């Protein structure tokens, strides 16, 4: 006969409170409640998988893996823990690890068609990655840019969209304005012009260092934006309400232009067009989602293939590899997508010399990875990342980096915030996130930072605007369900 203790009863009550918070999408509060339940009774596997699901929603994939491990330590046959761990590894682009758990889930539930479909999709990705590696090993991979013959691509007479002058091979402001309107109308531009735009930016970025010095226009301002994640209509709303890029109004977009939102092609082609038009007034930094593994999972690869072709995606991939990793504004403000490093003493010169193009994809450690993936924490020192990649860094780490390099503050992005931005580390570390109502579900505001020539920072918040009825991650195949979308 099983005796139910007071602690077990209390733990169940707390777990039920956590479940209510989860249904209300109050994920941080739910995490706290599940943690309380675990303290009362640490021997229930489902408490850990419930908390893991919250961590998935909060993109804390490292924590979700740890909770899944704890659940399986209690009950090795608890299939839900394998599913949660597969979800977290998939979110991190660790497809082989995810496949191990999906194989277990499939075997234990052979009649579950959804589990089988996800297993098959993951297996297909793993096979493709292995095939691509084998090809690279056996022969030098030829650049897509080098294999493209743009002049041979014909533009049909029936095409009624904006055109690039094929003699000058230059764009002008009317072209960009027409491009934006065409995208608003949910129409594509011709593939020839899309290739020309991406090629122009690739060529420009290939010559740039990994860290770019930025100045504020003397007669205007510089606007720093965080993640926009393919939310084209919210992205364009930034320009409509805050001013379009121009010679007197510079913009710096701090990574994660694509994925999740299903208008990522429209966002990136608009940004690249403005970069081509105003190379010294539109700045782009690579985010952790400008990488192949993320694009396979979160929709950008599928979207590009649906709207254009696999060759177009491969060209985007090459171009993302060439994007700079960081910017410094007026020798005072360091701007990067994720954050700081696992060691002290990193200099701007070191960052500038990172061979990002040679490295290509960022890997799971090193300076490039940490710039794209790290997050601040309120505690001093460093700790393992909640995401499972990069690190978490405290106020002392921020201070050391700023002191080492003679800087005043850091602006980074990478994390959704309820009010669109958060100021931490005694005002020295600011997070700005520019995708309001993230994934159509979070309800957060977006934010941007306007910086004047005298280096005053003005924080502006904004709400989401209506968009066509296309759901987030529309092109993410089987994985949107796996990731709890």
- Nearest Cα to 96, choosing from 116, 73, 125? 125
Spot the catalytic one: 190, 229, 249, 289: 289
Strands 446-451 and 211-214: unpaired
Token look-up 């002191």 returns 403
Distance CA 14, CA 35 (A): 9
What CA–CA distances, in Å, run from 237 to 233, 280, 368?
A: 6, 22, 31
DSSP-derived secondary structure for 143-166: PHHHH--GGGPPPPTT--S---BT
327 flagged as catalytic: no
Q: Is 377 helix (H, G, I), strand (E, B) or coil?
A: coil
- Copy the structure tokens of residue 309: 């072709």
- Copy the structure tokens of residue 237: 């709303």
Do the Cβ atoms of 318 and 305 come closer than 8 Å? no
Distance CA 143, CA 317 (A): 11
Token look-up 């597969």 returns 86
What's 439's DSSP letter?
G
Distance CA 484, CA 176 (A): 36
Do the Cβ atoms of 336 and 326 come closer than 8 Å? yes
- Copy the structure tokens of residue 244: 């379009």
Phi, psi for 106 (deg, rounded to 5): -65, -40
- Sequence length of the chain is 485
Distance CA 318, CA 321 (A): 5
Residues recognised as catalytic: 289
């Amino acid at each position: 006969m099983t005796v139910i203790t007071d602690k077990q009863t209390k733990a169940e009550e707390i777990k039920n409170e956590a479940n209510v918070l989860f249904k209300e999408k109050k994920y941080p509060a739910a995490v706290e409640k599940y943690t309380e339940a675990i303290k009362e009774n640490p021997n229930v596997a489902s408490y850990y998988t419930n908390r893991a699901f919250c961590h998935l929603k909060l993109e804390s994939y490292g924590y979700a893996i740890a909770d899944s491990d704890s659940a399986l330590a209690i009950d090795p046959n608890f299939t839900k823990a394998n599913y949660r761990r597969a979800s977290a590894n998939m979110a991190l682009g660790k497809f082989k690890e995810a496949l191990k758990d999906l194989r277990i889930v499939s075997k234990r539930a052979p009649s579950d068609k959804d589990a089988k479909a996800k297993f098959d999709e993951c297996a297909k990705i793993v096979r493709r990655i292995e095939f691509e590696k084998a090809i690279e090993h056996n022969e030098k991979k030829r650049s897509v840019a080098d294999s493209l013959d743009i002049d041979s691509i014909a533009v049909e007479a029936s095409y009624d969209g904006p055109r690039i002058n094929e003699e000058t091979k230059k764009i002008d402001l009317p072209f960009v304005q027409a491009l934006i309107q065409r995208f608003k109308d949910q129409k594509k531009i011709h593939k020839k012009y899309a290739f020309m735009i991406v090629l122009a930016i690739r060529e420009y970025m290939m010559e740039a260092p990994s860290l770019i010095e930025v100045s504020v226009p003397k007669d205007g301002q510089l606007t720093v934006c965080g993640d926009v994640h393919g939310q084209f209509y919210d992205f364009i709303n930034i320009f409509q309400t805050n001013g379009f890029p121009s010679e007197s109004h510079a913009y710096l977009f701090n990574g994660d232009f694509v994925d999740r939102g299903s208008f990522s092609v429209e966002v990136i082609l608009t940004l690249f067009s403005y970069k081509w038009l105003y190379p010294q007034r539109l700045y782009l930094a690579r985010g952790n989602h400008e990488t192949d593994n993320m694009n396979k999972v979160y929709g950008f690869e599928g979207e590009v293939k649906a709207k254009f072709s696999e060759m177009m995606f491969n060209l985007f991939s090459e171009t993302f590899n060439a994007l700079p990793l960081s910017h410094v504004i007026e020798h005072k403000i360091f701007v990067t997508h994720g954050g700081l490093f696992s060691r002290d003493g990193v200099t701007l010169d070191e960052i500038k010399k990172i061979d990002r193009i040679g490295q290509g994809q960022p890997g799971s450690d090193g300076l490039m990875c940490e710039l794209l993936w790290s997050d601040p924490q309120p505690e001093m020192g460093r700790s393992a990342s909640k995401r499972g990649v990069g690190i978490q860094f405290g106020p002392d780490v921020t201070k050391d980096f700023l002191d080492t390099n003679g800087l005043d503050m850091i602006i980074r992005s990478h994390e959704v915030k309820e009010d669109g931005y958060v100021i931490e580390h005694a005002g020295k570390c600011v997070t700005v996130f520019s995708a309001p109502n993230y994934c159509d579900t979070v309800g957060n505001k977006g934010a941007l930072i306007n910086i004047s020539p005298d280096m005053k920072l003005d924080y502006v918040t904004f709400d989401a605007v209506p968009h066509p009825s296309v759901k987030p991650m529309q092109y993410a195949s089987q994985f949107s369900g796996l990731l709890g979308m």
